[in-house]
Amino acid sequence: MSYEIYHADCFDWLGERQPDSVHGVLTDPPYGLIEFSRKELEKLRNGRGGVWRLPPTIGGNTRDPLPRFTILSEKEKQNLREYMRDFGIALMPVLTPGAHVIVAGHPMLQHLVQTGMSEAGFEVRGAIMRLYTSFRGGDRPKGAEREFEEVCVTPRSACEPWMLFRKPISERTVAENLRRWGTGGLRRLSKDKPLAEAIPSTRTPDLESAISHHPCLKPQHLLRILMRALLPLGQGIVLDPFLGSGSSLAAAEAVGYESIGIELDEDYFKAAKLAIPKLASLYPGCIGESMELPKTDASNTRQSRNNAKDTTQLSLFTQ
């Protein structure tokens, strides 16, 4: 095992970490903040929704719960910007110069996250787009669906931005920074293929959802590509300060990187501890070098469900 996980507040952990000791970050933070508060998590776990939208089944398809960021007040949005600024300030010293930070985002809140991280001193390096068709958005006005049949309140989601930041390099050039720190660039898929700005993806496969019941579980195919890209020379330590499901550390394990995860919520921490090795064992040979989606079959799905039985007992939504 080449990873460590801590049940802690990431701000406390970062404050005690040795400077210049982390070479990259891949994380999906609670960028709505209130959706992962104890109050709102209890509502979600009890099936009551709260800030979490519990979409109805459409055409036999059950849609996953998702945060309703449209209901955030202006004050809550500014709190997000300030939170990301404070997070960036806490994170900056532990990173090596030139280290990249990849943060999962939402189009409605992306500008707030980028502004906060920029205020903390990070370079904004654009975003890598996850391309996939989901059931998010495209709904008619609530309560007046028949009256406004040709109206949708928001577009149907077809992409997800993963924002890219970099701690400024300390050397004169990226080449010199790579020689000294091993950071400053991103790892190519191969010598002939650079990392693409858009990654074809899918919804998280049932094979993985059978292992982890976290509401924001991301697919291993995507995470392994992003994780591999973080260390340009294939060496160093990667961090997920908002561990959640543990899927990022599973990706690091599959790719062969050393990694550290921090999770504040005790239930998520316990579930991630069980899920990481199971997620990492999926798709042998899928190590983030190819855009091709991994193949799954019925036998793998059955085996995954069998392996997930003990994790399921810790499901946050089991009554």
* pLDDT tens digits for range 265-302: 999 999 999 999 999 999 999 999 999 998 764 334 44
Q: DSSP class of residue 155? A: P
**Are the C-beta atoms of 54 and 65 separated by less than 8 Å?**
yes
First to last CA, the chain: 32
What's the pLDDT tens digit per position in 158-178?
A: 999 999 999 999 999 999 999
**Are the C-beta atoms of 250 and 261 separated by less than 8 Å?**
no
For residue 11, pLDDT beyond 80: yes
pLDDT (0 to 100) of residue 297: 45
137: region left, alpha or beta (phi > 0 left; psi from -120 to 50 alpha): left
Cα dihedral 196/203/260/77 (nearest 10) = 90
Q: Are strands 22-27 and 95-104 parallel, antiparallel or unpaired?
A: parallel
pLDDT (0 to 100) of residue 191: 95
Count the residues in the chain.
319
CA distance 107 to 130: 12
Q: What is the radius of gyration, based on Cα positions, of the chain?
A: 19
Residue 196 tokens, joined: 């693409």
Name residues whose C-beta falls within 8 Å of residue 68's C-beta, 6 or more positions apart in sequence.
51, 52, 53
For residue 316, pLDDT beyond 80: no
Confidence band for 305, pLDDT divided at 50, 70 and 90: very low
Helices of type H across the chain = 10-16, 38-45, 74-91, 110-119, 174-181, 206-209, 220-230, 247-255, 266-280, 298-307, 309-312
CATH fit for domain 3-312, picks 3.40.30.10, 3.10.20.90, 3.40.50.1820, 3.40.50.150 = 3.40.50.150
Helix (H) or strand (E) holding 98: strand 95-104
Does this model's pTM top 0.75? yes
Confidence band for 182, pLDDT divided at 50, 70 and 90: very high
- Residue spans of the domains in the chain: they are 3-312
Report the chain's mean pLDDT, rounded to a whole number: 85
